[in-house]
Amino acid sequence: MISQLAVQGAQMLAVLLLAPLLIGFLRKVKARLVRRQGPSLIQPYRDLVRLMRKEVVLADNASWLFRVTPYLIFAATWVAAALVPTFATGLEFSWTADLIVIVALLGSARFFQALAGMDVGTSFGGLGASREVMIASLAEPAMLLIVFSLALLAGATQLSTVAAFMGSPQVGLRVSLGMSLIALVMVAIAENARIPVDNPATHLELTMVHEAMILEYSGRHLAMIELATFLKLLLYMSLIACVFLPWGLDSGGTGPKSLAIGAAAYLCKLAVLAILLAVFETAVAKMRVFRVPDFLGAALMLALLGTLLLFVSRSL
């Protein structure tokens, strides 16, 4: 019981501490790909500390909701990230939430973020919120259909069970799984506001979505939101790693050696995924906002086809 709680606590702290490092690593790789030196690996930590030390400049008609939202977004994202198996499955509180709940927790965070964007009453906030909910209205059903196909295969929406199933030899190579993987990657790109859906490095009004919503935030509030954004990227990478690369996962209470292997495997997986993301982002250009529905519609259709194919292959 105590050791289980310790593992759960370690996971909560690990995701919190690793998330900025992942972003630092990603930025470094992207910089090196275009032959720049790039900022140091720990620059995101420094940015967060600097933001916390700065004063908050609040728009004069911002309400209490605007000030509470950063903490809510951070809390919902952190809880969701802590419930995805990273280095070990079957954690003490993993039964609190299945994959649908994790997706919905991120939905809660987004709901408040969009509201905070509208609170100040500038057109930027409204623009960001309106585009964000449009993207979410396509990304969320796609994500749920991916959950459906995984649940049909593994017979569960519980991530620990899904990971255990995906790691077992009975999976085999399936077309549906490939479709789900592609759809999941597309959804993850859209959800994390990465290129080609959104550009996290821009403040050009015509193209931004996520940055437009948080334009009025500063100081410690911005630090909370940035940290939540880092956590979200880590969450999606952990999710892809735990479902599609379930090797090396500790399956609960098997001792420190297996935990160490799990942690090492997790770090390797994150590094590989980050490099892949950096290469992809360097290779493609950002698309127009109204091309995004086509992009996400493709993800939705892939996920639906994957689910239907499973039904077909099962009854043959």
Q: Which is nearer to another protein, 115 or 181 (CB)?
A: 115
Q: Which is nearer to another protein, 89 or 238 (CB)?
A: 89
Q: At 145, list the tokens.
A: 């259909």
Q: Which is nearer to another protein, 37 or 61 (CB)?
A: 61
CB of 206 to another protein, least distance (A): 12
The answer for residues whose C-beta is within 8 angstroms of residue 162's C-beta and 6 or more apart is 99, 150, 151, 154, 156, 242, 243
CB of 98 to another protein, least distance (A): 5
CA–CA distance from 207 to each of 117, 196, 226 (Å)? 16, 11, 19
Q: Which is nearer to another protein, 119 or 198 (CB)?
A: 119
CB of 115 to another protein, least distance (A): 6
CB of 126 to another protein, least distance (A): 2
Rounded Cα distance between 267 and 44, Å, is 18
Q: Which residue, among 24, 299, 44, has the nearest Cα to 188 in the 3D structure? A: 299
* Cα atoms in the Cβ-side hemisphere of radius 13 Å centred on 81: 28
Rounded Cα distance between 158 and 151, Å, is 8
Q: Which is nearer to another protein, 58 or 287 (CB)?
A: 58
CB of 110 to another protein, least distance (A): 8
CA–CA distance from 243 to each of 8, 99, 159, 231, 269 (Å)? 19, 11, 8, 18, 12
